[in-house]
Structure 1
Amino acid sequence: MSTQLPDQTEDESSAGEAEPTSAAQERRMAKKRERAAERDEQRQAEEAEAALADEETYHLKVFRYDPEIEGKKEPRFDDFHVPYHKGMTVLDALMYARDTYDSSLTFRHSCRQAVCGSDAMFVNGSQRLCCKTQLSDLDEPVRIEPLPHAEVVKDLVVDMEHFYDQMEAVEPYFQTNDLPDGELEEQRQSRENREKVKMSTRCIWCGACMSSCNIAAGDNEYLGPAAINKAYRFTMDEREGEDMKQQRLEILEQEHGVWRCQTQFSCTDVCPKDIPLTEHIQELKREAVKNNLKFW
C-alpha cells in the first residue's frame, strides 16, 4: 500500500524558494554598498590630494598603533600631506588629517588654547603642546609621536593614570591649622608670598615634564617634576599649616622624592608654561635640609 504525501500549497512552495533567494540578494546588496562606500572614500581622498596639488602643504609622519585591531598591533608611521595656512598649528594639521584622510586617527585635545594640557605630544623629538606649536616653526617631515615613557593606549593617546597618581601622592590641596575667626573673614596672603608661588600655579598637568625626565624614565616610583612642583606650590604658601608643611616635606624627602632629581633641566626646557621646575625642586631640597637641621 503506497502512502501519498500531501501536496504542498503553492504559497508554501514559493515561500521556501524565496527565502534563500532573498538572503542572497541582501548579501549582494550589502557588498555593493560596501564597495560603493570604499569608492566614495577613495574618490574623496583623491579629490583632496588633487586640491592640494597647487597649495603649500606640510608632510606629517604620524605614529599609529591600535592594540585592538590585528592588522594594526604593530606600531608604524602613516604619512599625511595637509594644506598649510598662516598660523596653522600641529593640532590643526592633525585634525585635518583625521577629518579628511582617516577618521580612526586618535589623539586628545580640548580647549585649543594651551590651558587644558591634553594635547601634549612628542613632536620632532621634543615634548610640545600641539595647539601651541606652529607648523611653520618645524622642519619637515613633522614627526608626531605619543609622549615617551608612558603606555600607549592608541595612536597618540597615552595612559596618564600613573602621572595623576604621582600628583595625588603629594596631597595637592591647601591645608591649614589656623582658620580665620570670622565666618566670612579671608585668610590673606602677602603680595610677596603670592609672587613666590605664582609660577608654580601655572601647571596644566600636561605631563610633558614627566615624559622628558630621564630619572622618571628609569624610576617608576619617582614623584616627578610636576608632582614636586605642585608640592612646592603648597609648601611655600605662608598660609599652609606647619604640621602639614612638615608632613609634605617628609613625602618629598623619601627615596623617590626630590633627591632623585639630577638637575638636568630637561623638565624646565619643555614646560609649555615656562615654570622653573628645576629651581623649585632645588629650593625644596634646601627646605628639606633646613627642616632636618631643626632636630639636630
Structure 2
Amino acid sequence: MTATLEETAPAAAAGEIPSFEVTIRVLRYSPESEHGTSSYWDEHTLTMYGTDRVLDALHKIKWEQDGSLTFRRSCAHGICGSDAMRINGRNRLACKTLLKDLNISKPITVEPIKGLPVIKDLVVDMEPFFASYREIMPFLITSGNEPSSERIQSPAQREVYDDTTKCILCAACTSSCPVFWTDGQYFGPAAIVNAHRFIFDSRDDGATQRLEILNDKEGVWRCRTTFNCTEACPRGIEVTKAIQEVKRAMITRAF
C-alpha cells in the first residue's frame, strides 16, 4: 500500500508545513569512479516538506551532503526542460514532481534519461537529440520577397498546430521511446513534434522538405505507436497524435 504524506509526517502546529523522512536513491555515474565500476547506486535520507519536489531533494543532497552530485536544472518552473530524468522508472521533470505524490515509504529512484550517452550522474549528452531537432529545420520557411505587413493567420489555422508549440525540448518523450533506446539514429518523437509545428503552420512553405526528411528509414515510419511519448510529456502534448498526423500528411500531402 502506498504511504501518504499524512500517514508518515509528524504532527505539525497550525500553519506549519509537515515534514517527513524520505530516501533518495540516485544512479551515479563517473568514468573515474572510486567504487570500481562506472555506475552505482547512492542513497541519501533527507528531511523534506510537503511543498518540496524531487529537484529540492537533489539540491539538498548537493548542497548539504555530497557536492559532487551532478545534474542539470535551470528555472525550476517546469518550462525550461533541462531537468528531465527518470524518477521511479518514469520520465519526469524533477522540478514538477512533488515528493508527496510519490510513495515516500520506499526509496525514490532517480536515474538519467535513457537512450543518450551519460556524461556524469544525471547529465546526458543531448547532442544526438538536438542534431535530429536541427535536421527537421525548426524555423519558418517562406518563399518570395519579405512581406510588407504581418502574415495573417486565423484562430482556426493556429489551432491546427497549437498543441505542438508547447514543446520545451526536454527529451522526455524521445528518451521514453523503445525504438530510440535500441536505435539511436531514429529521429524520435520530439523532432517529429517540432516538424509538425511547422508542417501545419499556414504561413510556412517548407512542409514538403520536412516530410521528405522524415520519409526516411529512421524517420516517422519507425514509430510503433506505444504511447510512451505521450505519457512522458510534461507539457501534456498529444505526441502520438501529432506523429500520426505527420504520417497522414506524408501519404495524402494534405497540410
TM beyond 0.5 = yes
SS in 2 for 1:144: strand
Shift >2 Å, 4+ stretches: 68-74, 178-181
How many Å separate the matches in 2 of 1:275 and 1:154? 29
Aligned equivalent of 1:276, options 231, 234, 238: 238
Aligned to 2:15: none
Q: Which secondary structure does the structure 1 equivalent of 2:173 belong to?
A: helix
TM-aligned CA deviation for residue 66 of structure 1: 1.2
Structure 2 residue 229 is matched with structure 1 residue 263? no
In 1, are the aligned partners of 2:62 and 2:68 still within 8 Å (CA)? yes
Q: Deviations over 1:235-281 (max 9, x none)?
A: 0000111xx21111111111111111111110000100010110011
Write the distance in 1 (CA, Å) between the matches of 2:99 and 2:143.
Answer: 50
| Deviation at residue 71 of structure 1 after TM alignment | 4.0
The more displaced of 213-222 and 102-111 is 213-222
Aligned counterparts of 1:275 and 1:144: Cα–Cα separation in 2: 24
SS state at 2:181 partner: helix
Distance 1:258 1:135 in 2: 36
SS at 1:201 equivalent: helix
Gaps of at least 5 residues in structure 1 are 1-54
How far, CA to CA, are the matches of 1:179 and 1:204 in structure 2? 31
Q: Any conservation in 2 of the 1:123–1:143 contact (CA below 8 Å)?
A: yes
Summarize deviations over 1:110-145 as a string: whole Å, max 9, x none.
100011100000000100000000001112210001
Deviation at 1:74, TM superposition (A): 2.6
Residue by residue over 1:39-64, the C-alpha shift from the partner in whole angstroms, topping out at 9 and shown as x without a partner, is xxxxxxxxxxxxxxxx6211111111
Partner residue of 2:143? 177
Q: Match for residue 238 of structure 1?
A: 202
State the Cα distance separating 1:87 from its structure 2 match: 1.1
Which residue number in structure 2 is paired with residue 186 of structure 1?
150
Once the 2 structures are TM-superposed, how far is the Cα of residue 68 of structure 1 from its aligned partner? Answer: 3.3
**More strand, by proportion:** 2
The 2-side partners of 1:255 and 1:181 are apart by 37
**In 1, are the aligned partners of 2:115 and 2:184 still within 8 Å (CA)?**
no
- Structure 1 segment 51-200 matched on structure 2, within 5 A: 56-71=20-35, 73-139=37-103, 140-179=106-145, 181-182=147-148, 185-200=149-164
- Structure 2: gaps of 5 or more residues: 1-18
Task: Please tell me the residue identity of whatever aligns with 1:256.
Answer: E
Mark the CA change 1:181 to 1:212 in structure 2 (over 3 Å): closer, same or farther: closer
State the shift of 1:201 in Å: 0.7
CA displacement, residues 199-226 of structure 1 (integer Å, 9 cap, x when unaligned): 1011011011111101111222111000
Contact kept, 8 Å, 1:179 with 1:187, in 2: the verdict is no
Partners of 2:198 and 2:32 in 1: CA distance: 42
3-state secondary structure, aligned to 1:259: helix
For this pair of structures, how many residues does the alignment match?
A: 235
Question: Identity of counterpart residues, as a percentage?
Answer: 43
What is the SS of the residue equivalent to 1:208?
A: coil
Query: How far apart are the structure 1 equivalents of 2:136 and 2:147?
Result: 28
Higher helix share: 1
Distance in 2 of aligned mates of 1:134 and 1:74: 30
Would the alpha carbon gap of residues 109 and 181 (structure 1) be closer, same or farther in structure 2, given more than 3 Å must change? Answer: closer
Corresponding residue of 2:7: none
| Superposed CA RMSD | 1.6
Q: Report the residue type matching 1:250 in the other structure.
A: E
Distance 1:179 1:124 in 2: 52
